[in-house]
Amino acid sequence: MFEFALLGLLHEAPMHGYELRKRLHDLLGAFRAFSYGSLYPTLRRLQRAGLIVEEGPEESALSWGRRARKVYKLTPEGKERFADLLANAGPQTWDDDSFGVHLAFFSRTPADVRMRILEGRRRCVEERREGLRERLARTGEQIDRYTRELHRQGLESTEREVRWLNELIAHERSEQDE
């Protein structure tokens, strides 16, 4: 997942770790924070898998004095891998953790896959909503006040998210027709 995000980011330009992290943080803002504890290991994983490579040590002319940094760039296999991940978009693509990340890379995502992800996400949130509705109805008044409050808030926010997704989907469709 982090793998997906890093590959996506490196499509913009070659970057070093710190930069990737900042860029990602900027992109996802509230949605999800990635720590260096995942960043560097993932980077090495991608490198071992041949999906990224360290850019040669040239271009030192301009920016010397700068601290040692490793700039990574995508290999053709890396680009392919990113495309594959999108092509095989499935349930884990639209769970709470990844949906935001994928949305952030939508401009680099084919229209049909965009639609599949949006609809998958909608179904996922709708299911949660139904679960909450049922739970709230089932447990009449006898349940703990705070838990009830938690579920009420959860229900409301899933309802909002479904509405939001509907708008996104509608917009997507209108663009497709034009």
Partner DNA sequence: CACCGATGTATCGCAGCGATATAATCACCT
Partner DNA sequence: AGGTGATTATATCGCTGCGATACATCGGTG
Compare residues 54 and 175 and give the one whose CB is closer to DNA: 54
Picked from a second copy, DNA, none, the partner binding residue 166 (CB below 5 to 8 A depending on kind) is none
Minimum CB distance to DNA, residue 69 (Å): 3
Q: Select from 40, 160, 166, 170 the one that contacts a second copy (CB under 8 A).
A: 160
Compare residues 17 and 126 and give the one whose CB is closer to DNA: 17
- Helix and strand totals (H; E) in the chain: 7, 3
CA–CA gap between residue 89 and residue 20 (Å, rounded): 23
Minimum CB distance to DNA, residue 58 (Å): 16
Residues 6+ apart with CB under 8 A from 154: 128, 132
Q: Select from 29, 41, 50, 91 the one that contacts a second copy (CB under 8 A).
A: 29
Total of chain residues touching a second copy, rule CB under 8 A: 33
Decide if residue 116 touches a second copy (CB under 8 A). no
**Nearest-CA neighbor of 75 among 37, 49, 93, 57?**
49
CA 168 to centroid of chain Cα atoms: 16
Q: How many Cα atoms sit within 13 Å of 129 on the Cβ side?
A: 14
Picked from a second copy, DNA, none, the partner binding residue 38 (CB below 5 to 8 A depending on kind) is DNA
Q: Which residues bind DNA (CB under 7 A)?
A: 1-3, 16-19, 22, 32-38, 40-45, 65-70, 92, 95, 97
| Edge-to-edge strands, sheet with 52-54 | 15-16, 71-74, 52-54
Compare residues 37 and 76 and give the one whose CB is closer to DNA: 37
Picked from a second copy, DNA, none, the partner binding residue 128 (CB below 5 to 8 A depending on kind) is a second copy
Are β-strands 71-74 and 15-16 bridged in parallel, bridged antiparallel, or unpaired? antiparallel
